[in-house]
Amino acid sequence: MSETKHWLDFAEIGAAVASVGGAIATIAGQSAVYATIPLSLSVSLNLLNRRRLLNAISDHHNQGLITLNHQLKEVRETQTSEWNQYQQAAKKEQDLVINNFNTHLAQLRQEFTTADQNLRETIKNLDYEKTKLAEVVGQLQQIENFSQAIRTNPNCAEFYYQRGLSHQHLGDKQGAIGDYSKAIQLEPDHPGAHHQRGILNAELGHRRQAVEDLRRAAKLYFEHGDIDSYQQARDLSKDFHRINTPLPEEAFEKIKIATFLA
């Protein structure tokens, strides 16, 4: 692609032609003046033209730097935008992973807490069952011990009474009533046997027998000076005396207490 020539280019060419002409004139006229003027003008124009070219090259170079800087700025902005987008996407992904982890961790903690509570409850139940089993074994051992004692001394009312208490603790009401009745047969004034047989008769719905036993127990307790037991037996006999009315709730509570204290 051709480039439009600057006027200095034409001036420099003219000066060069003039220099050649001056040189010819010098040779022909034997005068150096004709050669000196065009030559000086040619050198000056040449210097001006070179300066112009240098300035043009410098301007072109500066324009290239400006363009390059602009391109670099665009590249940096593009890279910065892409980097920011990458960081945002990475942060979202990281937050999602952290949230999922925290959710899973919370679920695990809840499951662990529930499992721990269930385990504690199971241990508590096992301890309770162990205690009850130990009580049952202990009562069975007591029954065996008093049975052996009865075989040795069948006329001891206290042995029957104590074995009756063990039967009562195990929930064997009929077995307990049988032993209490035998104790009363051997010792009619045994207050404890009357008392506990009265309680069991009340639980079985035999209220009349219960009232008779409890009144008898209250009388015997009073004669022995056991005022607390006397008061308890008397109160229960009053509650059970209401044969034609439902047994009040407090009466059942008194039965539970009396059975527990037996």
Kindly report, residue by residue over 69-123, the tens digit of the pLDDT. Answer: 888 888 888 888 888 888 888 888 888 889 888 988 898 888 888 888 898 888 9
pLDDT at 247: 45
Kindly write down the DSSP assignment for every residue of 57-100, as one continuous string: HHHHHHHHHHHHHHHHHHHHHHHHHHHHHHHHHHHHHHHHHHHH
Q: Place 258 in a pLDDT band, splitting at 50, 70 and 90.
A: very low
Percent of the chain residues topping a pLDDT of 90? 37
Higher pLDDT, 57 or 151: 151
pLDDT score for 2: 47
More confident residue, 14 or 2: 14
pLDDT of residue 40: 61
Beta-carbon contacts of residue 79 (< 8 Å; ≥ 6 apart): none
Nearest 5 degrees, angle CA 194-CA 200-CA 203? Answer: 140
Tens digits of per-residue pLDDT, 212-249? 999 999 999 999 999 999 999 999 888 877 654 444 44
CA-nearest of 37, 36, 44, 34 to 11 is 44
- pLDDT digit string, tens, across residues 158-182: 999 999 999 999 999 999 999 999 9
| Confidence at residue 197, expressed as pLDDT on a 0 to 100 scale | 95
Nearest to 7 by CA among 55, 58, 52: 52
Residue 152: pLDDT over 60: yes
Q: Both tokens of residue 170?
A: 């195990």
At 50 the pLDDT is 72
